[in-house]
Structure 1
């Protein structure tokens, strides 16, 4: 069983080839990101990744439309654009928290059809505001759609449920059983991202996340299934900031590299 690590493009301000050079030097295996529709811009990105021997995880997050028909049409448009780049797989923030089960299932079914057509795996992220926004809601989807595969970004659930999920053990266990990709951000009961996971005041919270990720790794090792991890701490203002100046309280890049190296020491 192999574990590969990916950097988020989210928050990058460098020209993309320079960003790729920095990502490779840090020890990542690839980048997780959305792609533009413009063919020239898209080619620059894919060429830079290839030049630095970096893999691509396609990312869809643009789920804005309230009308389900318009939403599904744009969902397919974005997914086909990502499929065209032949990524390792596609990670989707699928659906909306206010869509009905059947509306969100329509999107899951569409993703499954596109995956079968293309041979590119499409998985779905546990994310606030999206279909899998809460532990108990996700459990319902996973029970009714047992072949659904997920990206576990459990930081969101800590925020949504305002706790470290001690009262949702069965729901978390079910999610872990369906996890094929991890976003290793550390959330807490009052927010989806601690200001710095290295700080001692977050030790208990960090350990809770490590315990969850340990269980994912243990299952993948048992089944000899490769695992991927994106270190997805975000930039300001997702990163907490100081009042008035709006300066971030932590360094996004340093924290993400810290998370990668922490997990490499733990699992490799």
Structure 2
């Protein structure tokens, strides 16, 4: 089994080539990011990634339209734009938490059709505000859609359920069994991101997340399948900030590199 690590482009303020150089130097295998619809801008990004021998995980998050027909139209447009770049796969924040099962399933089915036509995997992220926003809701989708594969960003569920999910073992186990990709952010009962996972006050949250990820790794080892991880701690104000100054409490880049090195030592050491 191989594990490849990806850096989030989310939060980057550096020139893209400088960012990619830092990503490569840090020891990442690639970048997870959305792509612009403008063809010239997209090709420039892809050229820089190629220059630094970095893989691409396409990221879709533009789930804003309340009308399902308009939503599905834009969903397909952005997915096809990502697919055209031939990424490793596409990670999708699919649907809305207030859409019915039937409306969200329409989007899952559309993604499946695009994936089958292109030969590129499209998987779906557990994310607040989207279709897979909660553990028990996700279990229903996994039961009803047998080929559904997911990105496990379980930090969101800690926030949604205001707990470290001790009372939802079966729901978490179902999600772990269908996970192809991890977002290794540490959540807690009152938020989707601790201010610094290195701080001792977050030891329980860290160990709980590591326990979940251990089970994902064990599943992929058993099945001899590959696994990918994006160290997706976010910038301010996802990163908690000081009042008035709005200065972030920690350094996003340093934390993400720390998480990569922690997981490399744990799983590849």
Question: Scaled by the length of structure 1, what TM-score is found?
Answer: 1.00
**Paired position in structure 2 for 1:232:** 232
**Paired position in structure 2 for 1:22:** 22
Counterpart mapping for 1:165-176 below 5 A: 165-176=165-176
CA deviation map 1:152-190 (0-9, x unaligned): 000000000000000000000000000000000000000
| Cα distance in 1 for residues equivalent to 2:39 and 2:113 | 25
| Cα distance in 1 for residues equivalent to 2:23 and 2:204 | 29
| Cα distance in 1 for residues equivalent to 2:134 and 2:190 | 15
**Paired position in structure 2 for 1:93:** 93
Counterpart mapping for 1:46-195 below 5 A: 46-195=46-195
| Cα distance in 1 for residues equivalent to 2:186 and 2:217 | 17
CA deviation map 1:6-29 (0-9, x unaligned): 000000001111110000000000
- Per-residue deviation, 1:146: 1.2
Name segments (4+ residues, structure 1) moved above 6 Å: none
- Per-residue deviation, 1:40: 1.2
CA deviation map 1:211-257 (0-9, x unaligned): 00000000000100000000000000000000000000010000000
| Cα distance in 2 for residues equivalent to 1:238 and 1:191 | 9
SS in 1 for 2:56: strand
- Per-residue deviation, 1:39: 1.1
Unaligned stretches of 5+ in structure 2?
A: none
| Cα distance in 2 for residues equivalent to 1:74 and 1:160 | 27
SS in 2 for 1:238: coil
Root mean square deviation of aligned Cα? 0.3
SS in 1 for 2:164: coil
Asked whether 1:207 is paired with 2:207, we answer yes
Unaligned stretches of 5+ in structure 1?
A: none
